[in-house]
Amino acid sequence: MGKRLYVGSLPFSTTENELHTMFSAVGSVASAKLIMDRYTNQSKGFGFVEMTDDTTAQQAIQKLNGSQLGTRTITVSEARPMEERGPGAGRGNGGGYGGQRGGYGGGRNRY
């Protein structure tokens, strides 16, 4: 099984094909994925590359970490496992309507 690598500080214009090609120069690449903003569909400036074996993954880290891509210095490291997200993750305080007690609006019921 391969090793998944985190690639950060990418220029926003980088494509998945460019990412794949860059890592292919070091060894066999199983996949290359850029992370995109779901609303704008623009790159978030980082992605993940899966190398086919651990040896080439370590070589890619040593060779490409700190290298230049366009005008940026990229970061390459072993990817950490994704953390478990609880209910409401990514939505501030977990949802709900908030507001004041006693109904909608001014907080005091007037008759």
* Backbone dihedral angles phi then psi of residue 91, each to the nearest 5 degrees: -125, 45
Give the domains, in start order, of the chain with CATH numbers: 3-78 (3.30.70.330)
Q: Would the pLDDT of 60 be above 70?
A: yes
Per-residue pLDDT averaged across 53-63, rounded?
A: 97
Segment 3-41, tens digit of pLDDT: 999 999 999 999 999 999 999 999 999 999 999 999 999
Cα 49 from Cα 55, distance rounded (Å): 14
Amino acid in position 105: G
Report the chain's mean pLDDT, rounded to a whole number. Answer: 87
Residues in the chain: 111
Segment 62-74, tens digit of pLDDT: 999 999 999 999 9
Q: What global pTM score does this model have?
A: 0.75
